[in-house]
């Protein structure tokens, strides 16, 4: 019997149905487990193992490889600042420090309220728009330290239900780089990626 909510179980069933083998659904199901409990727990990984018909050790091997699978409590908004070489050369460290200073949350930590987590990350594939920041994996390019502070204040004040790259780029970013993706109406509703069918607004699972 599953410990997941009915809606999470429905999502898990739909995700698994998309793959020829159940085990292939392990990564999206790990995000479901995170969404269900707020972070990834041993119980959550065991649940994923049951759904995917693999061992908990196999699930743990996947989960421990990727930094996006959070084992610690993560805030409603995960602010990730890139400090790899291109962003670093264009002020990524200053952007990170501005986020830490404005939020009062150092890298790797979450505030007491569970609202904001801050981390520095390696290259997030937006070097053409460096320095780059993500909120719940939604990208913002060309962020200055001042804009980073405004971003933090906005998250704390407005507490948006959904964060969306296009909107945040308009509010807090510079000119979009040449490789900015197509406009995306969906956004993230928690500290996990907003790709379907993880429960993004407007993406209620069905194809």
Q: Can you give the binding site for ligand FES, defined by CB under 6 A?
A: 82, 84-87, 123-127, 130, 132
Q: How far is the CB of 137 from ligand FES (least distance, A)?
A: 13
Q: How far is the CB of 136 from ligand FES (least distance, A)?
A: 17
Question: Closer to ligand FES at the Cβ: 85 or 158?
Answer: 85
Q: In this structure, what DSSP letter does residue 102 have?
A: H
Q: How far is the CB of 107 from ligand FES (least distance, A)?
A: 15
d(CA 110, CA 115): 7
DSSP reduced 3-state for 188: strand
Residue 135 φ then ψ, to 5°: -120, 120
Question: Closer to ligand FES at the Cβ: 78 or 87?
Answer: 87
Count of beta carbons in the 10 Å neighbourhood of residue 63 = 22
Look at the alpha carbons of 120, 126, 129, 130 in this order and tell me if their dihedral is positive or negative. positive
Q: How far is the CB of 169 from ligand FES (least distance, A)?
A: 14
What is the Cβ-side half-sphere exposure of residue 81, based on CA atoms within 13 angstroms?
29
Question: Closer to ligand FES at the Cβ: 87 or 116?
Answer: 87
Question: Closer to ligand FES at the Cβ: 52 or 140?
Answer: 140
């Amino acid at each position: 019997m599953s410990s997941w909510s009915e809606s999470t179980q429905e999502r898990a069933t739909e995700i698994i149905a998309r793959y020829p083998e159940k085990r292939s659904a392990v990564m999206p199901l790990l995000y479901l487990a995170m969404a269900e409990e707020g972070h990834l727990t041993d119980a959550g990984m065991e649940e994923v193992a049951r759904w995917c018909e693999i061992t908990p050790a196999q699930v743990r091997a996947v989960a421990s490889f990727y930094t996006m699978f959070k084992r610690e409590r993560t805030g409603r908004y995960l602010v990730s600042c890139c400090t790899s070489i291109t962003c670093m050369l264009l002020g990524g460290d200053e952007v990170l420090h501005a986020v830490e200073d404005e939020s009062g949350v150092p890298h790797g930590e979450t505030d007491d309220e569970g609202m904001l987590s801050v981390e520095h990350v390696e290259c997030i594939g937006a070097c053409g728009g460096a320095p780059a920041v993500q909120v719940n994996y939604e990208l913002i390019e060309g962020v200055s330290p001042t804009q980073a502070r405004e971003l933090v204040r906005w998250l704390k004040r407005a507490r948006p239900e959904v964060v969306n790259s296009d909107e945040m780029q308009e509010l807090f970013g510079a000119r979009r780089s040449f490789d900015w993706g197509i406009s995306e109406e969906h956004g993230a509703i928690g500290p996990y990626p907003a790709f379907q069918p993880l429960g993004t607004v407007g993406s209620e699972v069905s194809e």
